[in-house]
Structure 1
Amino acid sequence: MVMLSREAFARARGFVFRHGRPLDRARFGHRFESRPASEVVAELARFQNPDGGFGHALEPDLRAAASSAIATSMAFAVLREVDAPATDPVVRRGVAYLLETYDGERSVWRIVPPEVEDAPHAPWWTYTGVDQTFDGCRVNPTADLLGVLHDYAELVPPGLLARLTATVLDRLEEAAADDLNAFRCAVTLAAARRLPEATRGRLAEVLAAGVHRVVNLDPAAWPTYVLQPLEAAPSPRSTLAGVIDRAAIDTNLDYWIHGQQADGAWPLTWSWAEVDESAWRQAERDGKGLQIVERLTVLHAYGRL
């Protein structure tokens, strides 16, 4: 079995602490060095706006200060990672923002606001045409944020949670088997810890129906923007861990270990340097620091550290 060596782990740590954001240093410290969760939440709070939403380039490819649904979704991924309780003020303000910005008529959150145009951003985050780019936001980010509401259900009107769950499940059954980003959202929703069992069961069926069409098992494709096995099953406890061929997961683990660069990071599978080279350089550093924490977490989950 190929393992990530102590030297390789040290290189990864070195990149995070040289080039990563304080938030990702705190996440690394909490995950691997027994640092308290409160340090992570304190760093995350720096990205929170007075309206309760998150911005300020928390999503590295979206450099605007304004709150957005996508950045808020990413913030809650961190809050759930450290088991932040519903009583935490950062959590309560974040949920309040989601309830305030929810479009009840369309049952969606718009993924980005018009203010994205005020700062550098990747071309896929352009506000113009956002409904066409993201299919009206019917799944992305709405399914991700539904998982947030389930995990903090005590802060959410029960009627809203029930209605939105039924709507999102119907949408995922239509789209997730053939659409990479919809499938990613289904994976994220399935990871919510407090989903009702009936909902979890329907999601498992959605994922099983699409896994062999959406998850790419070809290592030759992994340097590009595809859904790799470990992105669909980031731990042995993941919904799809027993569905995706274990040999493919092991090959993906080997690929990650061998693909680490000399500076300790892994290459990203996208770029927008052609849009704004200077802004991209910072976004790339931020993105690599974030990715290191996530990849080391996956490698640890599979016993490869």
Structure 2
Amino acid sequence: MIKFGIIGLGKIAHKFAQDLITVDGCILQAVGSRELTKAKDFATSYKATHYYSSYEELVADPTVDIVYIATPHALHFNHTMLCLQAGKAVICEKPFAMNLKEVEIMINTAREKQLFLMEALWTRFIPSTLQVMELMDQNTIGEVHSIQANFGYLATTDPSSRLMAKELGGGSLLDIGIYPIFISMLLLGTPIETKCIAQLTTTGIDQHCAMLMKFKNGATATLESSFLSETSNTAIIFGSKGKIIMHAPFHHTEKITVEILDKKPYTMRIPYINNGYVHEIEEVRNCILSGQLQSHQMSHPHSYELIKTLDLIRSQINVTY
């Protein structure tokens, strides 16, 4: 039985916990919050055995095997290191950390301490994403020439919101832009050329980011993230024989359409289980039970290349944390 702890008890932690308690071989053992009442209520909701009013107490709990980190972006590094130093395996929400240097330290520490560490980028494990990868492997749409993907919604302008607060790692790039970038890199590899422009707020975070990437095989990706308006939230992969449409919301879609030239289009409905976090939780469980220190599907090199690309984009749009 894999015993989970959770640090940071916001909206995403509730969804994760709802799924966790349905996965065979996993239980929610302990939760931690700066507010004891919040921790107690959360623990009661998901039948956690222990609850703590500090993260330090949680990582000191000898019954916890692995900690899921769901705190704001800027705190991911510190909380991951807190767990690793305490001998706990970690699954940390995206973005893994704020920059490449932090990610390198996290990965090196996990390796030195022989602890499992994974970025919780759920898109990688969603069944429809796996189906798209399979279609690509089968050369269904031929040679891929380009990808168009966007993720945008009208976000709050409240400066204290984690989306807008620079000290919490705010901005559209790290919050939602990571998804169009990730799907492109998952299907095409690391870009060899990247050009970006953005609209920044007065506080210096991006509220809209447009990205153009070129890959080793010559393919391009046109990507966008926005807090200013609702976009189509789709990803379209164009190939020499047709295209694949990942319908909205593409990063956890349950519907993809395949359009092959001179053939009738067909749509595949591929549901995920519960809130969609079951699939990454099952991967973590399987990795830990088989003694792996990283997931083959969402490996350390994957996270390394992703944060390196995010750093490059931030350098071009002049967003620094």
More helix by share: 1
The TM-score, its normalising length taken from structure 2, stands at 0.28
The TM-score, its normalising length taken from structure 1, stands at 0.29
Q: Which structure's relative contact order is higher, taking Cα pairs within 8 Å and 6+ residues apart? A: 1
